[in-house]
Amino acid sequence: MPIPSSQPQRSQRRPLRRTTCYTPGGMTISKWTRIRFYIVGCALSLCLFGVGYRAYGLQVRNPDYYRDQADRQHLRTIEVPAPRGNIYDTNGVELAVNADVDSVFVNPRAIVDVTSASERLAEALDMDNRDLEARLASRRYFSWIKRHVTPEQAEKVRALDIPGVSLTREPRRFYPGKALAGHILGFAGIDGRGLDGLELTMDEVLTGRRAEVAALRDASGQMMVDDPEAIPSPGASITLTIDRTIQFAAERAVRDAVIENQAKSAVAVVMDIKTGDVLAIASYPELDPNDPSTARDAGARNRALTDSYEVGSVMKVFTIAGALEAGVVTPTTMINTEYGTYRMGRKVFRDSFHDASLDVGGVIKRSSNVGALKIGMMLGATRLHATLKTFGFGELTGIELPGEVPGVVHQPSTWGELGLATHSFGYGMTSTPLQVTAAMAAIGNGGIYNEPRIIKEVTDGGGRSLYARKHSGRRVLSEKTAKQMIPMLESVFEGGEQHGTARSLFVEGYHVGGKTGTAHKIDPATHKYGDHLYLSSFSGIAPSDDPRVAITVLIDEPHGEEHYGGKVAGPAWIRIVQETMAIIGAPADAELRAWQLEEKRKLDRRFAWRTGIDPDKIERERRKNEVALTSYEEAMNLVGDGAAVPAMADLSDEGEDLLVDDAPGSSAVEIPDFTGMGLAKALEVARKSGIQLELVGSGSAIDQSPPPGPTSSAGVVRVIFTDSDHAFAER
């Protein structure tokens, strides 16, 4: 029997709360520790689930998107620029080439001290510090600082040794001749794209195919190239018809003409008559493609084809050619030139000469406006218009240069009688110097017109020919008419009593033919022909007995003492012809040269008799200054200011102007008082009054005959001048 106890039985006790658990190894883990394990396990499970979900999104749901993002960050395609094709002249001389130059770039993220780096770079590269600091402060991996720096600037940047700033070599377009043929070549931009001239029109041909190289960028931004030997394909090279020596001669001639005559601009075009190849196009102000910005500010452009003008009397050549071709006149047909004055309604047309009548050749020789308009009226508006269009006026020539304008030739139905008259001698229509040269070349080529071209051949990087110029022409005149025109053009240089408008000019050892032109220009202020605005031109062929080249020279707005085409554009034309003949090797006529030199000596002796200047001094000065004389007057200019204008009246060139005035109410002529006037002023007053002058001496006018006052017929007014050293009076 159990003994009673004061302690309750175990089975009757309250169960104890278990606060520990046992692991299989005998370790005890508290409840809270176990709970923390559960929490960590859940968190890890969630993380692993998130990673799995993210991996699913990256690799299964949007793999292409994220693969592209990775490629953007790490993969790069580097373009290796292709060399741009060279441009050569007709003899293979380089006109445009490529040269590798340094360019400066930066990784802005690698710059430690932006302020210091920008200050040092700005000083080395001559840049604005604020702009440079903004570039260095960006968060990009690459930025250009300055491209195409000079070798001196590149050396300064290397010496700075700034982390993150590097240099790389880039091809740059370089023009060895500087401004030589600058208007023809144009220029390329900093990325090698053509922006003007041939660089623009032939950009697709000149531009090569760049090489693309795959590269991998690491976290620091360093590039690892996959194919370091990738080679780009160079652009095709172009050979021009331009002869750089003729181009240089033409550019020098027009530049000197602008300076001497205080002109606004000038143009010269030299063209091969047989082929249509353009040997030179000179335009002033000049353009240096290496630094085109300054020239652009001066208004430099290729005026030979971008500007069209009312060229004036040069167009008489084509009016008469059309009339001969149509059979309405012959070279010996006499034209009543009305003593140089012709009234049409309320308008009066005047000539510089007061001839009663001229044959057809004499109209060109004396540059008669009255004669030309009468021949134009005989031809008629429809046939004159057809003649002008046949010679290429009012149409693009198609030359491989940008900016060409066609000029303006209105339909004949809009001309009227006055329009027909003015078109006959070059007004009411516009043309470019290139068009005039091509038309003049057709006359020298026996009536065959060749379209002017400037590209001779295109070759690829391997030297294979991609294009070669094929010559083709079209007949615009019969051979008979073209041959009839040659003596007429030659007569412009003849002397004598009925002398031509260019009789003081000569090309030593060569027969040449041409036509002078002097045209009024519209004054922008009054919208009328300005008395002080002229366009002086000269166009012709050489040598005339076996035509090789056609040349046109145009001087815009001369403001010197002369404005006539024979005086202003003529010497430049002669100079270009003389040098071109030597360059192309055209044989000179020894007998003709001897005769020309003898004639010059005769004129020198006559000048010496009048002025007291030793003619041997002229020859000594010529040799001393190595001057190639282009006119008889130019010889006189060598001896000083006192002989700037010949003392002999028969040495002065007469010119041709458009003198269209309202018909006066009375036929009386008022002779001005020329006393005290200089040569230029006297000529200007005489031109306005419709009076022809005979000039004796130079300096200031001291006497005249007839005296000032009204007269029924002025005839020729003889004006006697004196300079500071000599006084001339009637003897």
Report the catalytic residues.
313
SS3 93: coil
Nearest Cα to Cα of residue 533 among 548, 521, 546: 521
Query: Please, what's the b/e burial string for 510-530 (b: 16 or more CB within 10 A of its CB; e: otherwise)?
Result: bbbbbbbbbbbbeeeeeeebe
Contact status, residue 309 vs residue 519, Cβ threshold 8 Å: yes
CA dihedral over 269, 274, 276, 278, signed as positive or negative: negative
DSSP 642: G
CA distance 135 to 145: 8
Nearest Cα to Cα of residue 632 among 602, 592, 610: 602
Which is it for strands 187-188 and 75-80: parallel, antiparallel or unpaired? Answer: unpaired
Task: Name the packing angle between helices 316-326 and 381-390 (round to 10°).
Answer: 110
CA distances from 57 to 46, 54, 65, 67 (A): 16, 5, 10, 12
Q: How many CA atoms lie within 13 A of 177 on its CB side?
A: 24
> Cis bond leading into 331, ω under 30°?
no
Torsion angle of the four alpha carbons 545, 426, 501, 544, in this order, in degrees rounded to the nearest 10: 0
CA distance 184 to 453: 12
Contact status, residue 257 vs residue 569, Cβ threshold 8 Å: yes
CA distance 434 to 537: 13
Contact status, residue 411 vs residue 419, Cβ threshold 8 Å: no
* Residue showing tokens 């032939």: 202
Number of H helices, E strands in the chain: 23, 31
Contact status, residue 261 vs residue 558, Cβ threshold 8 Å: yes
Task: Name the packing angle between helices 316-326 and 479-491 (round to 10°).
Answer: 140
Determine which helix (DSSP H) or strand (DSSP E) holds 148, and give its type and residue range.
strand 143-149
